[in-house]
Structure 1
Amino acid sequence: MGAEVGRGDVVQVDGQGDAVELRAALLRMRRSGLLPVAFGGLVTGGGLPPGYGARQFRISELSGTGTESLRGLTITSGNGLGGKTLALGRPYAVTDYRSSRAISHEYDAAVASEGLRSVLAVPVVVQRRVRGVLYGALRQPFVLGERPLNVALDAARELEQALVVRDEAQRLLSFAQAPPTADPRAWEEVREAHTELRALAARVPDAHLRHELLSACAKLAAAGAAPAASATLPLPGPRPAPQLTPRELDVLSAVASGATNAAAAARLRLRPETVKSYLRAAMRKLGAHTRLEAVVAARRAGLLP
């Protein structure tokens, strides 16, 4: 069924994007002016889904620190402030880390080397699983009240949303690596995945990940070009390959999955009138008079799977 998409054709999402998102969360905490030191890490590896049965994480990103004493520190569930947050999935704060009786003190040496006193930790929770911990800290023993806690929680929520998008991207990219080549019903799943990938790409701020998503879309479309060419619906004679804009292709992909204009607008976060405008432009470029003709023409041209 057209060109097969092999497992080597799509690059896996790696941890670099997660590091970018984590650094952005820490920078947001510091820019508040309430948490001059911020650091954190995400749960990784082990062959399990991220955050599943998490027993530890590694502090991988630092912002505002004066030493490297915290970098690479492995935090075990239940140990120290971050380990307590990892184990219980709740934010915690201490006014003076080294003298606090609310936590254990396995990591005192690293904390002391950085000169930290007041420290808070908030969990990063995705689908009810702790995926990491963000810390904010002061070098004086002051009570960390509601304002700095809310700053840290807001940063964690933004990071959570970024991880949700990445998880969905990874799921769809994994599916796109080896689409079915025989069962027509399974091929419809490929087309639905293509639609979801395009909609997701428009929401991804990471340019590298967005490129991967759109590359996967292009490979799925190329894989579907041959079967689409066997469609029986006639179209006007040969035309040069149409040049659709990314948004026109987004809308046409949603329409191809059976979405109404209203549903396409909701999926793509556009106004229904805007969807209609993009759809009319795509139909004109494709020389189509109906939505179905436009979809078939796009599949023949290798623009849709």
Structure 2
Amino acid sequence: MTSATSGASGMGAEAVVEAVEVRAALLRLRRATGLQIAFGGLLREPRRMRIAELNGAATGALRGLAIRSGNGLGGRAIALSRPCAVTDYRAARHISHEYDAAVAAEGLRSVLAVPVVVRRKVRGVLYGALRQPLTLGDRTLDAAVAAARDVEQSLVVRDEVERLVAAERAPAPDHPARADEEVRAQVRAEVRAEVREIHSELRALAPRIVDAGLRADLLSMCDRLTAAATPGAVVRDTGIALAPRELDVLACVATGSTNAAAASRLGLRPETVKSYLRAAMRKLGAHTRLEAVAAARRAGLLA
């Protein structure tokens, strides 16, 4: 059974997207290292996780296994918040052996476990394993750490988007220090400016994501931020359609980036950035960079 057959029934949209992120990281880990199996999951409650995604599994013995902090190799990685590895799982003395039956059923010997750590908090564990008792070298460990960091970055982006959307939609605090409507309006404006800055950074990040599903999810979040940045606004059907790269360039311009800075963020040449910017200005009927940004926001195309 492979990760492609993992069940998503009963999972919320957020959980499904997170599962895709873990699944993609496990696939990259196996391709980069030649490990025979990779598996893992995210913590759904403090200090405990379930193995939800598998790639290269020969049985279903590991699926759904509940890993507690301190128990087994993965539990040790959770407790110590650092990678752990054993050359022969069944003979390892520095880990507990609550999960030996499942590990034996899958025939695993050499195993490594790398925690996904976000802001010093363990959010998940990725495993890689061989069915022979071989020492896992630094290259394999580095690849596993890189895969965990990919998941970490995805979670950081998701957390930040959710925080900003919630902050934008939350009513201003109603207490004497902020009772004045002008102060509350200033707070809302500051939050909106932060939402716009994050929107620009996310749009710049999206083209660098290889996985098409994750890239689509990130762009969907950008659309949510656009809506959150203009609460209550009516988006009119202007008939204006900007290409994704034109929007990416405008998002950078909106934060004050020069053409050179936008090129660096987007991985483009400055001349290419100029070309996209000119095309966007022409479609928006704008004569300056700032006019183009303002027009894109009025059209609901940019946060």
Question: Normalising by the residue count of structure 2, what TM-score does the alignment of the two structures yield?
Answer: 0.75
Shift in Å, 1:94:
1.9
Which is worse superposed, 15-24 or 274-283?
274-283
Q: Please tell me whether residue 91 in structure 1 is matched to residue 91 in structure 2.
A: no
Shift in Å, 1:220:
4.2
Pair 167,134 (structure 1): closer, same or farther in 2 beyond 3 Å: same
Q: Which residue of 1 aligns with 2:39?
A: 39
Q: Please tell me whether residue 160 in structure 1 is matched to residue 162 in structure 2.
A: no
> 1: distance between equivalents of 2:119 and 2:53?
23
Q: Please tell me whether residue 138 in structure 1 is matched to residue 130 in structure 2.
A: yes
> 2: distance between equivalents of 1:13 and 1:257?
31
Shift in Å, 1:299:
3.8
The runs of 5 or more residues in structure 1 that have no matched partner are 1-11, 46-53, 229-239
Q: Please tell me whether residue 186 in structure 1 is matched to residue 188 in structure 2.
A: yes
Shift in Å, 1:56:
1.9
Identify the structure with bigger relative contact order (alpha carbons < 8 Å, sequence gap 6+). 1
How far does the alpha carbon of each residue in 1:183-221 deviate from its partner, in whole angstroms, 9 at most, with x for none? 156235324413422541424541541352243144246
Q: Please tell me whether residue 219 in structure 1 is matched to residue 227 in structure 2.
A: yes
**1:127 counterpart letter in structure 2:** R
Structure 2 counterparts to residues 1-305 of structure 1, below 5 A: 14-32=14-32, 34-45=34-45, 54-175=46-167, 177=169, 183=185, 186-201=188-203, 202-203=206-207, 204=209, 205=211, 206-220=214-228, 223=231, 241-304=239-302
> 1: distance between equivalents of 2:221 and 2:271?
26
- TM-align CA RMSD: 3.3
Shift in Å, 1:179:
8.6
**1:24 counterpart letter in structure 2:** A
Pair 98,177 (structure 1): closer, same or farther in 2 beyond 3 Å: same
Contact (CA 8 Å) 1:191, 1:257: kept in 2 or not? no
Which is worse superposed, 208-217 or 87-96?
208-217
Q: Would you tell me which structure has more helix in proportion to its own residues?
A: 2
Pair 299,137 (structure 1): closer, same or farther in 2 beyond 3 Å: closer
> 2: distance between equivalents of 1:37 and 1:170?
33
Q: What's the secondary structure of 2:44's corresponding residue?
A: coil
Contact (CA 8 Å) 1:13, 1:170: kept in 2 or not? no
Shift in Å, 1:87:
0.9
Which is worse superposed, 274-283 or 254-263?
254-263
Shift in Å, 1:65:
1.9
The share of aligned pairs that are identical, in percent, is 59
The runs of 5 or more residues in structure 2 that have no matched partner are 1-11, 173-180
Matched length? 275
Shift in Å, 1:82:
1.0
Contact (CA 8 Å) 2:168, 2:191: kept in 1 or not? no
How far does the alpha carbon of each residue in 1:148-182 deviate from its partner, in whole angstroms, 9 at most, with x for none? 33332333233333333333333344445559897
Pair 225,131 (structure 1): closer, same or farther in 2 beyond 3 Å: closer
Which is worse superposed, 167-176 or 59-68?
167-176
Q: Which runs of 4+ in 1 moved over 6 A?
A: 179-182
Pair 241,37 (structure 1): closer, same or farther in 2 beyond 3 Å: closer
> 2: distance between equivalents of 1:118 and 1:253?
47
Pair 196,146 (structure 1): closer, same or farther in 2 beyond 3 Å: closer
**1:213 counterpart letter in structure 2:** M
> 1: distance between equivalents of 2:150 and 2:287?
43
Larger Rg: 1
> 2: distance between equivalents of 1:31 and 1:253?
34
**2:163 counterpart letter in structure 1:** R
Pair 168,262 (structure 1): closer, same or farther in 2 beyond 3 Å: farther
Contact (CA 8 Å) 1:255, 1:264: kept in 2 or not? yes
Contact (CA 8 Å) 1:37, 1:64: kept in 2 or not? yes
